[in-house]
Amino acid sequence: MLKPAAQRDTSMQMYQFVSPFRLLFAGLVGMALMSAPAHAKPAAPTGPTLPHVAGRIGHAAPLRIVAFGSSSTEGVGASSPAATYPSRLQVWLRGVLHDRVDVLNAGIGGEDSDDMARRIPGVIAQKPDLIIWQTGSNDPLRDVPLQRFVDRTRDGILAMRRAGIDVMLMEPQDCAVLRAHPGSLAYRDAVRQLASDMGVPLVRRYDLMHAWIAARLLTPAELMSGDGLHMGDGGYALLAADVGKDILSLSGLPAPTAGDAVMADAPK
């Protein structure tokens, strides 16, 4: 059963004005439409985009996102439901867009690609504008054949697209448990290859974790929960912010500036 992400922080109720990001995006879309010849051939896309999300933002319509995956999405390792990455992503996007953004948490710990394949019809039935699919962590631990993992994931992406839903993939994390299991990186690489082959935006979580440590945004102890597998509050907060920035960029919106109300800090 899908669980709604944490409700909007009451401090956000003071923001009643229209987001400058949405206004800018709508203006850019309008200018492009006015300047294009009536029978102009559409330009070839230069990279993966989120057209349905962009349309919802451009028309100031409600935006519905499903975070789909296993324990990293459910939030194992977080100190509370509000500290999970889907909950923080909802707060982050509402802080930037000042709009009706809902992020539903469809993560179930321990699931592999076979389990998630059975749940995809129910996720699609929620009629989201975007599904963020976190996958590839449990399959090596359960010795799911790599080709079956690839086939299940490809079929799931195709089903989501047939339903008119934008899709993002999220690759596995870097952690002690997966490093100790031979062949785990092949599943990360398979997610990357699928994203490249199918033109699906990819959250490179493995690389992001290394970048956060290198930039001293947090320590390894702050990044992970201590179980050798899952992130902690600090990691989930940074993940939410990076996913939020990707969503904006892939929808044609600029990244937020330091002065904007973005509330994805780790709990104090």
Whether pLDDT at 244 is above 50: yes
Residue 53 falls within a domain, yes or no?
yes
Kindly state whether residue 12 falls inside one of the protein's structural domains. Answer: no
Q: Is pLDDT above 70 for 259?
A: no
Q: What share of the chain in percent tops pLDDT 90?
A: 71
Would residue 259 count as lying in a domain?
no
Burial of 26 (0-12, 13-18, 19+ CB in 10 A): middle
How many distinct structural domains can be found in the chain?
1
CATH number at residue 193: 3.40.50.1110
pTM of the model: 0.81
Q: Which residues span the domain enclosing 125?
A: 47-249
Could you give the angle at the alpha carbon of 52 between the alpha carbons of 161 and 162, nearest 5°? 15
Amino acid, single-letter form, for residue 171 = E
How many angstroms separate the CA atoms of 223 and 245, rounded? 19
Q: Mean of the pLDDT values across residues 97-123? A: 95
Q: What is the pLDDT of residues 129-167, one digit of tens each?
A: 999 999 999 999 999 999 999 999 999 999 999 999 999
The mean per-residue pLDDT over the stretch 101-122 comes to 97
Residue 16's Cα: distance from chain center in Å? 26
Of the candidates 160, 157, 117, 120, which has an alpha carbon nearest to the alpha carbon of residue 138?
Answer: 117
Question: Residue 27: inside a domain, yes or no?
Answer: no
Asked if residue 63 has pLDDT above 60, the reply is: yes
Going by pLDDT thresholds of 50, 70 and 90, the confidence category of residue 222 is very high
Q: Mean pLDDT score of the chain, rounded to an integer?
A: 84
Within a domain: 211: yes
Once rounded to an integer, what is the mean pLDDT over residues 217-238? 94
The stretch 40-56 carries a mean pLDDT of 66
Is the per-residue pLDDT at 248 higher than 50?
Answer: yes
DSSP-assigned letter for residue 231: B
pLDDT band of 254, cuts 50, 70, 90:
confident
What confidence score (pLDDT) does residue 236 get?
96
Cα 173 to its chain centre, rounded Å, is 14
88 occurs within a structural domain: yes
pLDDT of residue 202 exceeding 90? yes
| Band (257; pLDDT cuts 50, 70, 90) | low
Lowest mean pLDDT of 113-117, 172-176, 202-206, name the range: 172-176
Q: Is residue 235 one of the residues assigned to a domain?
A: yes
Concatenated DSSP letters for 58-95?
HTT--EEEEEEESHHHHTTT-SSGGGSHHHHHHHHHHH
Report if residue 30 sits inside a domain.
Answer: no
Given this model, what pLDDT does residue 98 score?
A: 66
Residue 253, pLDDT > 90, answer no
**Mean predicted confidence (pLDDT) in 46-72:** 89
Question: Of 4-8, 43-47, 218-222, which range is least confident?
Answer: 43-47
CA-based end-to-end distance of the chain? 30
| Residues 134 and 156 sit within 8 Å (Cβ to Cβ) | no
